[in-house]
Amino acid sequence: MSSLLSRRHLLRSLGVSGAGLVLAPGFLGRALAASANVPARRALVTVFLRGGVDGLSLVPPVEDAAYHRARPSLALKSPGSGPDAALKLDGRFGLHPKLEPLLPLWREGRLAVLHGVGLPEPVRSHFDAQDFVESGTPGRKSTPDGWLNRALEDEETSAALRAVALQPTLPRALFGSSGALAMGRLEEFRLRGGRRGEEAASGFSALYAGAVDEALRTTGQGAFEALSRLDEERLSRLAPASTVEYPKGPLGQRLRDIARLLRGDVGVEVAATEMGGWDTHAAQGAAAGVFANRCQELAGALSAFAADLGPKLEQVTVVVLTEFGRTVRENGSRGTDHGVGSAMLVLGGGVRGGKVYGRFDSLAPEHLQDGRDVPSWTDVRAPLAEALRACRPGVDLAKVFPGFTPPPPLGLFAA
């Protein structure tokens, strides 16, 4: 790690190197290896929708009479029955009308839906359910690290920027030994030392290299290595494609930044971000309202992301997930309470899209879990394992999801 302290490195970390980008040797080596005989990898991007998404509004089973009975004010109308109706996916399911920007991806076969997915046992606390999804070990709270970080253990490298979170705090899924980096926005991620910049950077870099606290030491080293890779000059060349417009709001900003990193080939292997506001206990709305607004932001951001990446989307897989679904019956406040099974969206390279996957029965009360919830017929780890296998051939799934035996593949990804 002493190379971290080299003068050239520090100059780069300040963006003052006149020579433009100098690839770090480790990354160069990996890039070469990838072009030779190592199987091609895709970057995996996760978007965690926090609060427990109502899968029944995201991808409503519009032809099921029980759905309409259970949700007098929240059910979406069948496709073709007016401007507020759900959009047609197949003979059984519709798509929330505000997710319309995703329809082209669906038609091109690059977007798939998995329904009835969740934790193996019902967990109705946000905190616990998110914890279990992100640790990848449902029911076990003592797991110190997260599934997405363990997925990177298949390679011995300390390169920065392998794992990036575009959100102010590091998500649980990225806790672990493969250093991960979190930032609220890409632009904020630089040292502003003014005229003392160079000395401050060299001083801090050395202080953190020698920190006694291990977490601070590794975080500091990761930060300085990442700073050097993301010098301003390089970032300025990574503006989004001019025709792409991301929606206002944090998710658009974050996906825009992730797209910049991916297009810049700075070595990102997994990226995570999140979006809140899905805990719709009250006044959830149907085609318009709180839930619909969230859908609009989500779909706008995802479709802009896909357009921004262009052909590069083939080398990227996006998984949109949540901690649990919501009750089938609407509650007294025109909202829904914490449930079990929800829906997951998968899009990008390798996805066999245009299809709703997973077991999903009628919503008649006798088919519900505890008489109130969509069961989680598919363990959330199954599609995550499948995505990892598709993105990182040879990944050791027994390490990523200890104690979990993946069921036969759902077929979400082309072999």
Partner 1 sequence: MSEVRRLGVEGWVEAQLARSGSKPSPELEAKLQALPTLTMSMADLARDFPPKKQREQALLDGRELQRPALIVYDLSAAKVLRAVESPGQLEEVLVDFWFNHFNVSAEKGAARWMVTSYERDAIRPHVFGRFRDLLGATARHPAMLFYLDNWRSTRDGMPRLLRRDAQSAVANADMPGDEPDEEEDPRPGLNENYARELLELHTLGVDGGYTQQDVREVARCFTGWSIRRPRREPEFIFRRRAHDPDEKRVLGQRIASGGNLEDGEQVLDLLARHPATARHLATKLARRFVSDTPPPALVERVAKAFLDSDGDLRTVYRALFQSPEFWAHEARGAKVKTPFEFVVSALRATGAEVTVRPRLVQSLARMGEPLYRAPAPTGFPEVAAPWVNSGALVARLNFSLELVSGRLPGTRVALAQLATTPAARTAEDTVDALGHSLLGAPPSAETRATILAALSKRAEAASAEGEPGPVDVPLIAGLLLGSPEFQKQ
285 binds partner 1 (CB under 8 A): yes
> Is residue 69 part of the contact set for partner 1 (CB under 8 A)?
no
Residue 388 lies near partner 1 (rule: CB under 8 A): no
Name the residue nearer to partner 1 (CB basis): 131 or 308: 131
Residue 177 binding partner 1, by CB under 8 A: no
The CA distance from 119 to 322, in Å, is 10
3-state secondary structure of 262: helix
Q: Which of residues 107-136 bind partner 1 (CB under 8 A)?
A: 122, 124-128
With CB under 8 A as the contact rule, which of the stretches 29-37, 88-96, 181-189, 343-351 interacts with partner 1? 181-189
Residue 323 makes CB contacts below 8 A (sequence gap 6+) with 50, 51, 52, 119, 123, 126, 129, 130, 132, 133
The residue range among 61-69, 108-116, 335-343, 379-387 that interacts with partner 1, by the rule CB under 8 A, is 335-343
The secondary structure element, H or E, covering residue 94 is strand 94-95
Reading the block at residue 20, the tokens are 């433009």
Q: Does 2 bind partner 1 (CB under 8 A)?
A: no
**Under the criterion CB under 8 A, does residue 17 sit at the interface with partner 1?**
no
Answer yes or no whether residue 16 interacts with partner 1 by CB under 8 A. Answer: no
What's the distance, Cα to Cα, between the start and end of the chain in Å?
39
Which residue stretch of 19-27, 113-121, 193-201, 350-358 sits at the interface with partner 1 (rule: CB under 8 A)?
193-201
Distance CA 137, CA 204 (A): 37
Q: Which of 31, 239, 241, 283 binds partner 1 (CB under 8 A)?
A: 283
Is residue 215 packed enough to be buried (19+ CB in 10 Å), middle (13-18) or exposed (0-12)? exposed
Token duo for residue 235: 């970032």
Q: Extract the tokens encoding 299.
A: 């779909």
Task: Say if residues 405 and 373 touch (Cβ distance below 8 Å).
Answer: no
61 vs 146, beta carbon nearer partner 1: 146
Q: How far is the CB of 334 from partner 1 (least distance, A)?
A: 5
210 binds partner 1 (CB under 8 A): yes
- Binding to partner 1 in span 356-385, by CB under 8 A: 370
Of residues 212 through 271, those in contact with partner 1 by CB under 8 A are: 212-213, 215-217, 219-220, 222-223, 226-227
Q: At its nearest, how many Å lie between partner 1 and the CB of residue 222?
A: 5
Residues touching partner 1: how many (CB under 8 A)?
Answer: 62
Q: How far is the CB of 305 from partner 1 (least distance, A)?
A: 20
Tell me the closest approach of the beta carbon of residue 286 to partner 1, in angstroms: 11
Q: Dihedral of the CA atoms 120, 146, 297, 348 (nearest 10)?
A: -90
Residue 85, phi-psi category: left (phi > 0), alpha (psi -120 to 50), beta (remainder): beta
**272 sits near partner 1 (criterion: CB under 8 A):** no
Which residue has tokens 């809140």? 276
Q: Where are the alpha helices (DSSP H) in 99-186?
A: 103-107, 126-135, 147-150
CB of 405 to partner 1, least distance (A): 27
Cα torsion through 405, 174, 346, 316, rounded to 10: -110
Cβ 157 to partner 1 shortest distance, Å: 17
- Which H or E element spans position 58? helix 55-58
Select from 74-82, 102-110, 291-299, 334-342 the region that touches partner 1 (CB under 8 A): 334-342
d(CA 30, CA 38): 10
Contact in structure between 159 and 269 (CB atoms under 8 Å): no
Q: What residues line the site for partner 1 (CB under 8 A)?
A: 50, 73, 122, 124-128, 165, 168-170, 175, 180-184, 188-194, 196, 198-200, 202-204, 206-208, 210-213, 215-217, 219-220, 222-223, 226-227, 276, 281-283, 285, 289, 331-335, 337-338, 370
